Amino acid sequence: MAHRPVRMLAAACAALALAACGGGEYPYSTGARMADDTLLTYRVKAALDQDTALNARQVRIASTADGRVVLTGWVDTPEMVRRAGEDVRHFVDGAKLDNRLRVLPYAPGIGGGPVIAPGLPDVPASAPVSR
β partners of residue 92:
none
pLDDT of residue 85: 92
In a domain? residue 98: yes
Q: Which contacts qualify for 116-125: CB closer than 8 Å, 24 or more apart?
A: none
> What's the structural domain count of the chain?
1
Q: Which of 109, 117, 114 is nearest to 125 (CA)?
A: 114
pLDDT of residue 26: 47
Classify residue 128 by its DSSP letter: P
Q: What is the pLDDT of residues 103-117, one digit of tens each?
A: 887 655 555 544 544
Pairwise CA distance, residues 117 & 7, whole Å: 40
In a domain? residue 63: yes
Pairwise CA distance, residues 5 & 102, whole Å: 28
In a domain? residue 22: yes
Residues of the chain with pLDDT under 70: 1-34, 106-131
pLDDT of residue 4: 65
Instruction: Using alpha carbons, list the distances in angstroms from residue 50 to 56, 72, 111.
Output: 9, 18, 20
Stated pTM of the model: 0.55
Q: Residue 36 — φ and ψ, nearest 5°? A: -65, -40
In a domain? residue 111: no
State which residues form the domain around 83.
3-103
